Structure 1
Amino acid sequence: MYSNKQIIVFIILFFSGFAFGQNSKKELDSIFANDVKTLFAKGELKESLALCKKLIKDYEKINEEKSVIKLYIYAANVNSNLFEIKESLQYLDIALKKNADLNDLNLDAKIYAELGRNYSILGFTKKALENYNKSLNIASSLPLRNKRSLLDYTYGLRSMIYEDKKNIPALYRDLILAHKSFPNTYNSSRLAKYFTVYQKNLDSAKYYLDLGKKLYKEGVTPIYQYSILQRNSGRYYSELKDYKKAISALEESLAISIKLNKPQDVKDTRKLLYEVYKASRNTEKAIENIEIYTKISDSLINKNAEAHEIPVNHVIVEKERVNQQSKSKLYFIIFVIILLFTALLIAVLKKYNSKKKESDYLINTKSDENLQLQQKVNDAFEEVVQLAKNNSPEFFTRFKEVYPDFIDKLLEIDSKLRVSELTLLAYSYLGFNAKDIALYTFKSVNTVRSRKYNLRKKLGISPEESMELWLKNLV
């Protein structure tokens, strides 16, 4: 069955199918402002995206290229909010190509800001800063009416990189610049976090939290901003040791993030809930939240890995575009280089060819050896995994034979680790999750999770780290 919100969007799309074909730009602009953006503000991101895609087609029917690019950027932003980074970058790639002919500086600034955001999510910090700075440089030359919200958005995004890098003065500078450009609930809540976490100035933190609530009530503010406000309210109350209010605020923030399908925000709030429950000595809730946090972290790592090829391709596209602009100069340089070094190249090639046959023979021999070695490693891994699944008493002995360095490293950290604990760590190293381990070793899932939690403490694995990745990095 469809939900009420999905039915409403279907109705809008159904009737728009009859009307959009003949609609003017003014009418389509009205639909974007009053329907697409309203759905986004309410947190109906997927519905907003569906209507946005419909509008793109109808703008294309009336050859309104600038609006088409604007909608591609908007779709990229919604996908980024949904943590669909691959799709977001694909939309931005199209927008960048289309705007190459239009050369609209305002659109360029928005594209670079969104590119920076996606690169930042994927961990490409240098590329993120490069694109943020491009956006800010372009925005500085725009009229005030066009740049206020753009400066607010980009300064806010760049400040998160400085926060990750622990560059607190730069973090505060960008937060203030964003707030001055366009005061809103989001900036106010992040300033509250700055004063709570980094300055321990709770009076200033409360001022910005109150301001954020006031701004939220006064305007049409996306509910996402309220979720950030409540998350930072949780930090504030936790600092006051009022754990009941902290948990209430964090749970409200978490509910919004889950509704919006924002895994990164869910992950961050779960970590805060773990810390608050731990401080309030509610061990059961603390373990529950850190387990969910770890699971989401692993999922996001895998999702990032899938999207990493897109930034690489995007860099290639950018380079090709720059090279195209200076093609004549480049060809001239290449021509001169060829003339100067032709004789040298001929001599080098002759010498190279004489050694190539010898090197090819050595490479082929080495490749055969590597293939044989790889096959042995694969066979050993499959054997150990099967022993683990069978809960065989020979599992741990065989695992030590295949991965001797792993056990030695663990015992260097804690020489008192028992065989049962080392066996559980071996299962985790092989990639088995808590449910798998419980199934194969005939134990309850809660028992396995509790033992993994205790081992984290013994080995000094921080809550935000994936145990499996930590163990693999051990050797």
Structure 2
Amino acid sequence: MHLTKTITILLIFFSASYSGQKTRKELDSLFSKKIKVLFAEGELDEALVLCKEIISGYERLSDERGALKAYVYAANICSNLFRTKESLQYLDIAAEKNAVIKDEYLESRINAEYGRNYKNLGFNNLALKYYDKAISIAKKNNNRNSLEYFYGLQSVIYEEQKEINKLYGSLTKGHKSKPTVYNSARMAKYFLSFRKNLDSAKFYLDLGEKMRSTKSFPVFQESILNRNWGRYFIETKDYSKAVSYLEKSLTISKQLNKPQDVKDTHKMLVKAYKLINDEQKSVQNLEKYTAITDSLLMERQKIQHLPIEKVIKEKEVSSEKSFNTLYFILFAIALLFAVIYFISRKKFSAKSLEKEMQISLKEEENLQLQQKVNEKFDDIIQLAKNNSPEFFTRFQEVYPHVISNLLKIHPRLRVSELTLSAYIYLGFNTKDIANYTFRTISTVRNRKHNLRTKLNIPAEESTELWFKNIGNNLY
């Protein structure tokens, strides 16, 4: 099996290695026919190899739109393979190209794939923001195929968060946009897991079977349908059938090299084999489930800093644009007042009064903003206590000046050091930080000492007071 797959990849590589010499029409044909067929059949590694070669071909022809389309597709393949870092690299290139081309369809896909990768890294709220952007663009252009995909991605997060009403809303919107084997299976799971309605679950599973017979769908959807048949037969106590369907689902997911799906199916097989009193296979599946879970967690931790760094970079760009706009406005106001001054002192006075009113309104707006920040404080504290991967992103949104001031003092501070700074600024002591971040007290003390050294905090000043002052722009 592996030998055959390797040979196939090599054949694709050598046959595609001349893509740089192909015409735009030939590259388009390869993309729309060969790559998409490979993807639908679950040959993701082969599809990625060919996609890279087609990207090279488009780049040699200086076909920016063709290359952009291929970059987005490569990002999607990588996210399916759980190669998150590689997927994000393709997306960054695609986003940069589309800033010039401004293709709304591809803009929605880029946002969706960013969201999908951030979800894989545990940043669910950040992922939902990107899904919302993608859905908004797709609704504007009435792109039903994209909407079905985007709502499906959104529903996975709502399911994890146990937001049942939002989950049902996303599932029904996706199903209405375009009925597929996948969303039929997901609807069945909803009725099995949250409504305990076997009749409705069976209706959607049967609908999925009808669409399965057409063979016009990506093969991964079949694994999802089989897994939810397994879930259905567990509920109806037909455990032998449950095991049969779950094993079929597992085989497909392994062939597609989709670790998340493999993990989820192993988890269900632990229960199914236990119900038929096959303790040995239940334990074997538990061991495999645990191993994959640990592996995915390790991979996630290696690159979990990437979304945070992207948010920081976006904030910096946004701040720079805001400052440039502010300077332009101030220059325009100064010029306007100079002209008015020479025309009429009276008019100048009137404009001065207007400016004072604007400042007063601005101060009132700032007061309202501060009240909103106070309302968000409890939310940030809870994220900190939960050691949530979204804690730092949320802190950056509410207290951007703190991170900005720290980076002015030491631009090379790591994300982990900035996160520790956020804990200190919020008033957490060493013991609390150790408890919430699962570190020893001595480890946290050492990290705080190293942070003091990097930030040149005077020996006579307490760390906590220094950070409060940095938040108040006293340094």
Report the TM-score, using the length of structure 2 for normalisation: 0.67
For 1:213 and 1:26, locate their aligned partners in 2 and report how far apart those are by CA, in whole Å. 37
Q: Aligned-pair distance for 1:323?
A: 4.2
Q: Aligned-pair distance for 1:26?
A: 2.2
Assess, with a 3 A threshold, how the Cα gap between structure 1 residues 2 and 164 changes in structure 2: closer, same or farther: closer
Aligned 8 A contact 2:16 2:54 in 1:
no
Tell me, yes or no, if structure 1 residue 229 matches structure 2 residue 252: no
Identify the match of residue 276 of structure 1 among 272, 275, 286.
272
For 1:293 and 1:334, locate their aligned partners in 2 and report how far apart those are by CA, in whole Å. 60
1:39 corresponds to:
38
Q: Aligned-pair distance for 1:325?
A: 4.7
Identify the match of residue 240 of structure 1 among 223, 236, 239.
236
For 1:207 and 1:287, locate their aligned partners in 2 and report how far apart those are by CA, in whole Å. 33
1:425-463 deviations in whole A, cap 9, x for unaligned?
Answer: xxxxxxxxxxxxxxxxxxxxxxxxxxxxxxxxxxxxxxx
2:145 corresponds to:
149
For 2:66 and 2:93, locate their aligned partners in 1 and report how far apart those are by CA, in whole Å. 13
Question: Any idea what SS the aligned residue of 1:218 has?
Answer: coil
1:120 corresponds to:
119
Tell me, yes or no, if structure 1 residue 12 matches structure 2 residue 8: no
1:2-26 deviations in whole A, cap 9, x for unaligned?
Answer: 73343234333323333x3343322
For 1:25 and 1:326, locate their aligned partners in 2 and report how far apart those are by CA, in whole Å. 41
2:53 corresponds to:
54
List aligned pairs for 1:282-361, cutoff 5 A: 282-323=278-319, 325-331=321-327
Question: Any idea what SS the aligned residue of 1:43 has?
Answer: coil
For 1:195 and 1:70, locate their aligned partners in 2 and report how far apart those are by CA, in whole Å. 37
1:97-154 deviations in whole A, cap 9, x for unaligned?
Answer: 1111112211111101111111111110110111011111111211x3xx11111111
For 2:41 and 2:65, locate their aligned partners in 1 and report how far apart those are by CA, in whole Å. 26
Assess, with a 3 A threshold, how the Cα gap between structure 1 residues 202 and 2 changes in structure 2: closer, same or farther: closer
Assess, with a 3 A threshold, how the Cα gap between structure 1 residues 232 and 101 changes in structure 2: closer, same or farther: same
Corresponding letter in the other structure for 1:274: V
For 1:87 and 1:288, locate their aligned partners in 2 and report how far apart those are by CA, in whole Å. 32
Q: Aligned-pair distance for 1:220?
A: 2.6
Q: Aligned-pair distance for 1:315?
A: 1.8
1:23-55 deviations in whole A, cap 9, x for unaligned?
Answer: 332221110121111111111111110000000
Gaps of 5+ in 1: 341-372, 378-475
Assess, with a 3 A threshold, how the Cα gap between structure 1 residues 15 and 281 changes in structure 2: closer, same or farther: closer
Corresponding letter in the other structure for 2:291: K
Corresponding letter in the other structure for 1:48: A
Corresponding letter in the other structure for 1:122: L
Tell me, yes or no, if structure 1 residue 94 matches structure 2 residue 93: yes
Question: Any idea what SS the aligned residue of 1:3 has?
Answer: helix
Tell me, yes or no, if structure 1 residue 187 matches structure 2 residue 159: no
Identify the match of residue 260 of structure 1 among 250, 256, 259.
256
1:211 corresponds to:
207
List aligned pairs for 1:401-440, cutoff 5 A: none
1:419 corresponds to:
none
For 1:133 and 1:253, locate their aligned partners in 2 and report how far apart those are by CA, in whole Å. 31
2:458 corresponds to:
none
1:437 corresponds to:
none
For 2:285 and 2:13, locate their aligned partners in 1 and report how far apart those are by CA, in whole Å. 39
For 2:330 and 2:83, locate their aligned partners in 1 and report how far apart those are by CA, in whole Å. 41
Q: Aligned-pair distance for 1:332?
A: 5.6
For 2:179 and 2:278, locate their aligned partners in 1 and report how far apart those are by CA, in whole Å. 38
Gaps of 5+ in 2: 334-358, 360-441, 447-475
Corresponding letter in the other structure for 1:125: N
Question: Any idea what SS the aligned residue of 2:17 has?
Answer: helix
Aligned 8 A contact 1:185 1:229 in 2:
yes
Question: Any idea what SS the aligned residue of 1:100 has?
Answer: helix
Corresponding letter in the other structure for 1:60: E
Assess, with a 3 A threshold, how the Cα gap between structure 1 residues 175 and 102 changes in structure 2: closer, same or farther: same
1:226-249 deviations in whole A, cap 9, x for unaligned?
Answer: 001101110000000000000000
RMSD after superposition: 2.7
For 1:334 and 1:319, locate their aligned partners in 2 and report how far apart those are by CA, in whole Å. 22
Question: Any idea what SS the aligned residue of 1:38 has?
Answer: helix
Corresponding letter in the other structure for 2:43: E
Q: Aligned-pair distance for 1:324?
A: 5.4
Aligned 8 A contact 1:93 1:314 in 2:
no
Aligned 8 A contact 2:12 2:49 in 1:
no
Q: Aligned-pair distance for 1:334?
A: 9.8
Question: Any idea what SS the aligned residue of 2:212 has?
Answer: helix
Assess, with a 3 A threshold, how the Cα gap between structure 1 residues 98 and 323 changes in structure 2: closer, same or farther: farther
1:362 corresponds to:
none
